[in-house]
Homo-oligomer: A and B are copies of this chain.
């Protein structure tokens, strides 16, 4: 895989022609500074054909597992939308078309690595070990849906845009201090990248050489705001460079490229080679959330072009070319995934319980007296209403 751009620090081995002097102890160097290049990684082209010599040749089992995860993500997405429309689900944020970003960014993580999802990362969460029934509870507004399942080292998903990025860097800073050879992956959107705290996070990661991989899913939209109103620069990867973080651009609809880029970035992080920013270029084909109506602000014909860039279809062409998956087998995977989602829904319906009496339980390790008094007041209200 091509070497991506390196931070512009003098003492590091950068592709810049003229490394700038560390100016604290040197005179001003008036030679202009070559910033180098941002690599743009694509392995599968628009038609699912692999670029010459780039095929990472992952083993069959991995490829089929990743394929199934993408299909399952899409099945979950469709079902959640349907459930929301039928009034069985809260507001939901679909992920149609971003399945490659999602699975690609987490597939190489081990159980001791950490993942910090955005609210649109359910595919990645499923891969990480969140049951779909658990995620349904989350989206349906049950408190039990929020904490990561036992053994899963994930942050809860992030609702306040960008607010999880700094804590993710903190996780990585702690890993480095503990000399644990793990890494953290944090996922956020093109809109989130406008938050100043995300810039602060890049800078802290660079200064600390924290083992973290920033995955920015640039899907062209933040609700109704297109990327050109969001940013003065189309290539968000450039920003990483500005803070001294190795940065590259990846075709986010190309699962092989996503897998390669993240695997490499995670390896580097674990080996002490510092953070990476991956800008995954993709497209939000569906609604922002079920509360949103894109027809108000975008020409839906824009979406059509992206249907042809479907990450699952592209991957299936590749798998077919490798004789790994016939179209019948693909249909079988789809059917099995659909069934798995339905089973999860059954589970969800049977097990989700609202526990209004528990809401005070976890604010503090030990309940302060004044809060206990407030809890009793609240319980009296529930009693009066006959709420259990």
**For A2, A8, A205, A254, which residue has the most chain B Cβ atoms within 10 angstroms?**
A8
A365 interface residue, CB < 8 Å from B?
Answer: no
Residue-wise interface mask of A (242-257) relative to B, using a CB-CB cutoff of 8 A (1 in contact, 0 not):
1111000101011000
Specify which of A23, A31, A253, A281 lies most central, judged by the most chain B CB atoms within 10 Å of its CB: A23
Closest to A244 in B: B232
Complex Cα gap A72–B302 (Å): 61
In the complex, the answer to whether B40 meets A30 with C-beta atoms within 8 Å is yes
Q: Do residues B234 and A10 form an inter-chain contact, with CB atoms below 8 A?
A: yes
Asked whether A29 lies within 8 Å of B35 as measured between CB atoms, the reply is no
Residue pair A227, B24 in contact (C-beta under 8 Å): yes
Q: Is the CB of B28 within 8 A of A234?
A: no
Range class of the A interface residue count: 35 or more
A40:B36 contact, CB within 8 angstroms: no
Cβ of A240 < 8 Å from any Cβ of B? yes
Q: Residue on B with the closest CB to A237?
A: B33
Chain multiplicity (copies): 2
A134 to B195, CA, bound (A): 38
A40-B46 contact, Cβ under 8 Å, with A196-B200, A197-B196: no
- The answer to whether A38 and B28 have CB atoms under 8 Å apart is no
| Any B CB within 8 A of the CB of A51 | yes
CB distance from A209 to the nearest CB of B (A): 8
A373: CB under 8 A from chain B? no
In the bound assembly, the distance between CA atoms of A231 and B232 in angstroms comes to: 22
Interchain CB contact under 8 A, B218 and A232 = no
Q: Taking the complex as formed, is A98 at the interface, i.e. its CB lies under 8 A from any CB of chain B?
A: no
- Say whether, besides A40-B30, A46-B27, A199-B199, A244 and B233 are in contact (CB < 8 Å): yes
A37 within 8 A of B: yes
A7 CB-CB contact with B under 8 Å? yes
Query: Contacts of A227 on B, CB cut-off 8 Å?
Result: 22-24
Given A8-B235, A23-B220; A28-B281 close (CB under 8 Å): yes
Q: Which residues of B contact A23 (CB under 8 A)?
A: 218, 220, 227, 234, 281, 283
A91 within 8 A of B: no
Q: Closest CB-CB distance, A107 to chain B, in whole Å?
A: 20
Closest to A20 in B: B235
- Whether, in the assembled complex, A39 has its beta carbon less than 8 Å from a beta carbon of chain B, the answer is yes
Query: A295 to B38, alpha carbons, bound, how many Å?
Result: 42
Which B residue sits closest to A4, measured CB to CB?
Answer: B32
A192: interface (CB < 8 Å): no
B residues near A8, Cβ cutoff 8 Å: 233-235, 238
> 18 other contacts beyond A9-B228, A196-B200, with CB at 8 A cut-off?
A24-B228, A24-B283, A28-B281, A29-B40, A30-B40, A32-B39, A33-B40, A33-B235, A35-B37, A195-B196, A206-B231, A206-B232, A231-B243, A232-B243, A233-B241, A233-B242, A239-B243, A240-B242
Rank and list the top 8 A-B pairs by shortest CB-CB distance, nearest first. A206-B232, A196-B196, A232-B244, A233-B244, A242-B242, A239-B242, A199-B199, A35-B35
- Chain A residues near B (Cβ < 8 Å): 2, 5, 7-10, 20-25, 27-42, 46, 51, 194-200, 202-203, 205-207, 218, 220, 226-235, 238-245, 249, 251, 253-254, 281, 283, 302, 305, 309
